[in-house]
């Protein structure tokens, strides 16, 4: 403990020295993504990394594997930047021999709001760099930063550098839908690894939907046996344990979502009596859009009036809580389609006795929400549960202290509605954060494609088109229009990849590097020291980061021709050289 206190004091002393200096970023010499909160490098120079370089750290079940992983990467990566750094090797700096990690609190769990801050000091006159963090999760963030600072063969590292880093938002995630198309475990692990490299910390796993139920649950094995696409497209409890542990070793929480009562058609394969309108054509012939049975092909809602529904649902919830240690439980509750419930005779009778669809949803929530809370979980719902025009619950059913709402419609307006009502919000506005948008639609024989050449339809059949560029994502300020107090209720954001038109063959390119753009805005913001948005500067850095991700096995899509990257600034709209 005395060593920790000494090291923390040493860090504050170093910070006191460097804080009097103006933070500087030499243009091509430092490229850490996301950009650190505060960095000082007053005399840009580098030293060699010793061939015997090693990392000293406390023993910890999740930090120790991370240290071993990063040590191997640092010693073997030898990444060669597209734009060669112009920094010179110091004539006096010795080779860097050691990275010493000091962690103040080794017991802090990977929960929402955990301290992820760290500081890193690489001296110009010594052979030991110091990484100091409050928690092991902050230490992992610092290890990633250090790994990005190393380049070349032989390996080099900047010296005389100090940085302090901490995220703006505690919740920074990616939502992936594994129901519409299946992703093998290796793809999920690769995605989590790439998230960690981008300092994202929540893998929101939308596991089930109307299309398939791929998760094998110990108490309800029939759900996957009959509701999945087949035995080779299932996630076993052992798979889940491996994914959760991999997440912990990378500082990424795994947040499960079991959507209900809507989006549950796959449940009907095992339990047909608890699902209304299952396996029916989604848009009956001659019907208006308002009378459809689903928002897209794949029908089915759980029946709130059937007591057996709650036997099954509670078993599912219990298994999920056992499999996933994450304190948040995402219960879905989006897109309740009136026509699906109205197709059931018992519900028709309920409605004829002056019952309402919203009362049906309230019955369901009142029968499931308290049970989830009793298992020490905070419940996350999609915004629809409170904001839908047709079917929603009264706010009295959702105590704000136990409820988080995730936005996806109407941009900053719905975020405003949620936080002004006192709820915490996770922002996933489809106008900015939906990664599947802009690829047309998957509906066959759709007349919306039969447009005259002069129609000017920029959506091209995609309900949420156009394509969300990295610039659009980088531009989005998730607290736009909020008061200071309302801003405190915004936990962060998630980009979302719904998988109607995505599968393992396109996974990496759909997500990266666009998710990297959000990662930086939620970590250190999207503006420079003068308050201006830093598109051009971010483009140069994101290009370089994209190439490094590719070298690490992430098949991220390109942003520019290679010529632009090799000639920084030459592909800008405004000439930066005058």
Write the burial class of residue 352 (CB in 10 Å: 0-12 exposed, 13-18 middle, 19+ buried): exposed
Contact indicator for 254, 243 with CB cutoff of 8 Å: yes
Strands of the sheet containing 118-122, edge to edge, are 38-40, 161-165, 118-122, 128-135, 96-105, 45-56, 156-159
DSSP-derived 3-state class of residue 29:
coil
CA end-to-end distance (rounded Å), the chain = 55
The Cα-based distances of 18 to 27, 32, 310 in angstroms read 19, 19, 60
Strand partners, 257: 206, 330
Catalytic residue, candidates 144, 335, 494, 520: 335
Q: Using alpha carbons, select from 403, 411, 446 the residue that is nearest to residue 427.
A: 411
- What is the distance, to the nearest Å, from the Cα of residue 172 to the centroid of all Cα atoms in its chain? 5
DSSP-derived 3-state class of residue 269:
helix
DSSP-derived 3-state class of residue 103:
strand
Contact indicator for 120, 142 with CB cutoff of 8 Å: yes
Contact indicator for 246, 196 with CB cutoff of 8 Å: no
Provide CB contacts within 8 A for 159, sequence distance 6+. Answer: 45, 46, 47, 90, 93, 96, 122, 123, 124
Structure token digits, residue 256: 């499960």
Structure token digits, residue 137: 């999760």
Known active-site residue 335: yes
Structure token digits, residue 394: 């009264």
**What's the CA gap between 258 and 302, in Å, rounded?**
12
Q: Using alpha carbons, select from 22, 14, 49 the residue that is nearest to residue 38.
A: 22
Strand spans (E) along 400-470? 403-407, 424-427
Contact indicator for 120, 147 with CB cutoff of 8 Å: no
Hey, which residues are catalytic here? 335
């Amino acid at each position: 403990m005395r060593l920790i206190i000494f090291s923390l004091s040493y860090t504050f002393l170093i910070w006191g020295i460097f804080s009097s200096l103006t933070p500087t970023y030499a243009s091509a010499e430092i490229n850490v993504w996301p950009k650190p909160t505060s960095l000082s490098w007053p005399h840009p120079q580098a030293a060699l990394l010793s061939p015997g370089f090693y990392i000293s750290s406390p023993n910890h079940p999740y930090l120790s594997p991370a240290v071993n992983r990063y040590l191997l990467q640092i010693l073997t990566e030898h990444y060669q930047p597209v734009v060669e750094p112009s920094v010179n090797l110091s004539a006096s700096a010795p080779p860097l021999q050691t990275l010493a990690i000091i962690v103040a609190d080794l017991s802090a769990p990977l929960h929402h709001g955990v301290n992820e801050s760290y500081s890193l000091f690489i001296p110009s006159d010594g052979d030991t760099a110091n990484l100091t963090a409050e928690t092991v999760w902050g230490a992992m963030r610092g290890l990633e930063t250090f790994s990005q600072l190393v380049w070349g063969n032989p390996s080099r590292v900047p010296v005389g550098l100090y940085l302090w880093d901490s995220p703006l938002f505690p919740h920074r995630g990616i939502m992936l839908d594994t129901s519409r198309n299946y992703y093998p475990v290796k793809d999920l692990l690769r995605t989590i690894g790439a998230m960690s490299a981008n300092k994202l910390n929540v893998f929101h796993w939308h596991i089930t939907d109307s299309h398939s139920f791929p998760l094998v649950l110990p108490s309800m094995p029939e759900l996957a046996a009959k509701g999945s696409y087949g035995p080779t497209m299932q996630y076993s409890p052992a798979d889940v344990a491996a994914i959760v542990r991999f997440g912990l070793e990378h500082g990424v929480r795994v947040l499960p979502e079991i959507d209900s009562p809507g989006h549950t058609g796959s449940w009907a394969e095992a339990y047909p009596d608890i699902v209304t309108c299952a396996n029916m054509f989604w848009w009956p012939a001659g019907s208006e859009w308002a009378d459809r049975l689903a928002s897209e092909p794949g029908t089915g809602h759980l029946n709130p009036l059937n007591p057996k529904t709650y036997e099954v649902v509670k078993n599912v919830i219990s298994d999920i809580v056992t499999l996933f240690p994450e304190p948040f439980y995402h219960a879905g509750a989006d897109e309740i389609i009136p026509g699906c419930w109205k197709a059931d005779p018992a519900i028709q009778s309920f409605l004829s006795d002056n019952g309402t669809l919203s009362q049906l949803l309230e019955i369901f929530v009142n029968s499931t929400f308290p049970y989830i809370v009793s298992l020490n979980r905070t419940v996350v719902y999609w915004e629809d549960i409170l904001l839908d025009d047709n079917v929603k619950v009264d706010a009295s059913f959702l105590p704000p202290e136990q409820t988080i709402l995730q936005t996806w419609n109407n941009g900053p307006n719905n975020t405003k509605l949620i936080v002004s009502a006192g709820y915490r919000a996770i922002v996933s506005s489809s106008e900015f954060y939906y990664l599947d948008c802009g690829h047309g639609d998957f509906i066959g024989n759709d007349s919306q494609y039969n447009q005259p050449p002069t129609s000017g339809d920029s959506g091209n059949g995609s309900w949420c088109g156009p394509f969300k560029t990295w610039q659009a994502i980088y531009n989005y300020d998730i607290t736009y229009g909020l008061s200071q107090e309302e801003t405190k209720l915004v936990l962060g954001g998630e980009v979302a990849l719904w998988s109607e038109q995505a599968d393992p063959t396109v996974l990496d390119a759909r997500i990266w590097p666009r998710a990297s753009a959000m990662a930086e805005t939620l970590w250190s913001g999207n503006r420079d020291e003068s308050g201006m948005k830093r598109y051009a500067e971010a483009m140069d850095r994101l290009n370089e980061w994209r190439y490094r991700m590719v070298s690490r096995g992430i098949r991220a899509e390109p942003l520019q021709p290679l010529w632009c990257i090799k000639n920084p600034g030459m592909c800008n709209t405004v000439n930066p050289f005058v």
